[in-house]
């Protein structure tokens, strides 16, 4: 095992960048060597942007100069807005660095799907082919061997994890899936805007981008991959209903997924689906009641909490999944991938419990 991994964090001014730094500061084998925020913050201290890190991380912010950073680090995390990772990812790879990208730029395997949803032609389809989708529970061995990991989006993380066992075992009708997700406001990023202004977002709840959110093709890609793997013959790719909502909490997603049980799957099968599928997973917790799946219980923690209910009146299963969008849905999961890539124990530095209350 490497004694000390030198890492860089590009994009420290946002919430996922800040959370990366918080979690990396708890990791016993990591040295944070380079931190980049926006150009206007060069020379400032990390804690001037992230007051919680005062007296914890006291290095200065530097400009985004790839060759300079590449000399100082073994692995780099990029936590930039979509489209802004496209070039630096390719550059860091050309310097033979390990790269973990938290943006959406290398998540969608098909460059045409990327272009359709992000209105940008992907400039590096060859690099895209090397990217591994960083959902460790489903792609662990590929992540271990990868040089470039694309960390899943927050909604796809929980949606794929909650549906994977049912899809992989062909227990539900793929055409019946409806995902109604509720996200805290940190998911919208750190840039002020009227919809996230405290008096507008507090005491409020609304749906947005129904069937049109950019995480939708990512969820479909993740589930189609499982259908394809389990299918004995050709299959029709699924199109699912995804409806995100904004709720007035800081951190956390609760995703409620509905699907029709296949006619030949008995409810007896349902009860243990999660237990069987995830029995050895260190970051999956399974609860017997929907009430216990609550992002409140995992603020700051890298768990995904799951529960499933079968409704005999309608033949639906209802799955509840919860994560901290900034941890398992972004920065914690990114470190989980890092641990795999450099052969650290997968849970190293990630075992802290959530805050309660």
- Rank residues 101 and 324 by Cβ distance to a second copy and give the closer one: 324
- By CB under 8 A, residue 113 contacts a second copy: no
- By CB under 8 A, residue 210 contacts a second copy: yes
- In contact, 222 and 110? CB cutoff 8 Å: no
* Least distance in angstroms from the C-beta of 198 to a second copy: 4
Contact partners, residue 119, CB within 8 Å, separation at least 6: none
- By CB under 8 A, residue 205 contacts a second copy: yes
Residue bearing tokens 């990023």: 189
* Least distance in angstroms from the C-beta of 10 to a second copy: 19
Stretch that binds a second copy, among 34-42, 109-117, 145-153, 295-303 (CB under 8 A): 295-303
N-term to C-term CA, the chain: 36
- In contact, 4 and 73? CB cutoff 8 Å: no
Stretch that binds a second copy, among 66-74, 84-92, 102-110, 186-194 (CB under 8 A): 186-194
Q: Considering only residues 4, 43, 56, 230, which one is a binding residue for a second copy as defined by CB under 8 A?
A: 56
Stretch that binds a second copy, among 69-77, 93-101, 272-280, 310-318 (CB under 8 A): 310-318
Residue 299 tokens read as 């603020």
Which residue among 154, 304, 308, 337 is the active-site one?
154
Query: d(Cα 257, Cα 207) in Å, to the nearest integer?
Result: 15
Query: d(Cα 261, Cα 258) in Å, to the nearest integer?
Result: 10
- By CB under 8 A, residue 306 contacts a second copy: no
- By CB under 8 A, residue 202 contacts a second copy: yes
Q: Considering only residues 27, 97, 139, 182, which one is a binding residue for a second copy as defined by CB under 8 A?
A: 182
Q: Considering only residues 285, 332, 346, 348, which one is a binding residue for a second copy as defined by CB under 8 A?
A: 285
Contact partners, residue 29, CB within 8 Å, separation at least 6: 1, 2, 3, 4, 5, 344, 348, 349
- Rank residues 120 and 309 by Cβ distance to a second copy and give the closer one: 309
Residue bearing tokens 């989006």: 153
* 304 assigned to active site: no
What is the total count of residues that contact a second copy (CB under 8 A)?
A: 85
- In contact, 283 and 347? CB cutoff 8 Å: yes
- Rank residues 142 and 292 by Cβ distance to a second copy and give the closer one: 292
What is the CB-side half-sphere exposure of residue 308 using CA atoms within 13 A?
27
- By CB under 8 A, residue 227 contacts a second copy: no
CA dihedral 242, 155, 223, 133 (to 10 degrees): 150
Measured in whole angstroms, the distance separating CA 156 from the mean position of its chain's CA atoms is 7
Q: Considering only residues 295, 329, 332, 349, which one is a binding residue for a second copy as defined by CB under 8 A?
A: 295
* Least distance in angstroms from the C-beta of 46 to a second copy: 11
Phi first, then psi, for residue 177 (nearest 5°) are -75, 130
- By CB under 8 A, residue 171 contacts a second copy: no
Between residue 232 and residue 261, which ones bind a second copy under the rule CB under 8 A? 239-241, 243, 245, 247-252, 254, 256, 258
Cβ neighbours, 10 Å, residue 266: 11
Residue 109 tokens read as 């395997």
Catalytic positions, please? 154
């Amino acid at each position: 095992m490497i004694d000390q991994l030198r890492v860089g964090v590009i994009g420290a001014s946002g919430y996922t960048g800040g959370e990366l730094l918080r979690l990396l500061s708890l990791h016993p084998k990591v040295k944070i060597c380079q931190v980049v925020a926006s150009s206007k913050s060069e020379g400032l201290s990390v804690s001037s942007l992230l007051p919680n890190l005062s007296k914890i991380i006291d290095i200065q912010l530097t400009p985004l100069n790839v060759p300079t950073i590449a000399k100082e680090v073994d692995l780099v995390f990029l936590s930039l807005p979509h489209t802004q990772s496209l070039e630096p990812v390719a550059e860091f790879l050309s310097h033979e660095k390990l790269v973990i990208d938290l943006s959406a730029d290398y998540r969608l395997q098909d460059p045409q799907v990327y272009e359709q949803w992000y209105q940008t032609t992907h400039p590096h389809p060859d690099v895209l082919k090397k990217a591994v989708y960083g959902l460790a529970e489903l792609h662990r061995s590929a992540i271990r061997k990868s040089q470039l990991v694309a960390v899943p989006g927050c909604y796809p993380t929980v949606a794929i994890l909650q549906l994977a066992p049912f899809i992989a075992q062909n227990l539900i009708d793929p055409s019946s899936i409806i995902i109604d997700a509720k996200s805290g406001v940190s998911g919208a990023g750190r840039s002020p805007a009227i919809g996230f202004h405290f008096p507008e977002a507090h005491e409020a709840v609304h749906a947005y981008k129904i069937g049109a959110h950019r995480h939708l093709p990512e969820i479909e890609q993740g589930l189609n991959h499982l259908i394809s793997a389990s299918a004995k013959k050709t299959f029709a790719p699924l199109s699912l209903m995804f409806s995100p909502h904004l709720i007035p909490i800081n951190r956390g997603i609760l995703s409620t997924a509905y699907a029709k049980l296949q006619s030949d799957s008995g409810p007896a099968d349902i009860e243990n689906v999660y237990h069987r599928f995830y029995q050895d997973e260190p970051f999956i917790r399974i609860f017997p009641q929907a009430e216990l799946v609550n992002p409140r219980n995992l603020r700051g923690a890298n768990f995904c909490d799951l529960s499933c209910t079968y409704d005999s009146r309608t033949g639906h299963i209802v799955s509840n999944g919860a994560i901290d969008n900034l941890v398992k849905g972004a920065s914690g999961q990114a470190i989980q991938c890092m641990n795999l890539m450099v052969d650290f124990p997968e849970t190293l530095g990630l075992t802290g419990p959530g805050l309660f209350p």
